[in-house]
């Protein structure tokens, strides 16, 4: 089978409204993709190699498998 994830450089919507379009989109996508990795929540951003290592760990995959 295939495992998929979303890896984004994003900022945290702290407005409290929850109606910010990108935030609403991420809420919908979260149910379809596991994991949804957001730079603002994991403290790394693309192109930092650490974010890709983190994604591989979350997917339980090796680089040659992706």
pLDDT of 53 over the 60 cut: yes
SS3 state at 46: coil
Please give the pLDDT value at position 14.
59
CB–CB of 54/44 below 8 Å?
Answer: yes
pLDDT of 63 over the 80 cut: yes
Please give the pLDDT value at position 55.
93
10-43 confidence digits (pLDDT tens): 776 655 665 667 777 777 887 787 788 888 888 9
Please give the pLDDT value at position 62.
93
- The CA distances from residue 5 to 18, 37, 59, in Å, are 22, 7, 8
SS3 state at 52: helix
| Residue spans per domain, the chain | 6-59
């Amino acid at each position: 089978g295939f495992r998929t994830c979303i890896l984004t450089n994003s900022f945290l919507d702290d407005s409290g409204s929850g109606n910010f379009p990108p935030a609403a989109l991420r809420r919908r996508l979260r149910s379809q993709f596991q994991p949804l990795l957001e730079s603002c929540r994991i403290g790394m951003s693309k192109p930092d190699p650490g974010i890709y290592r983190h994604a591989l760990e979350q997917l339980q995959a090796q680089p040659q498998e992706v």
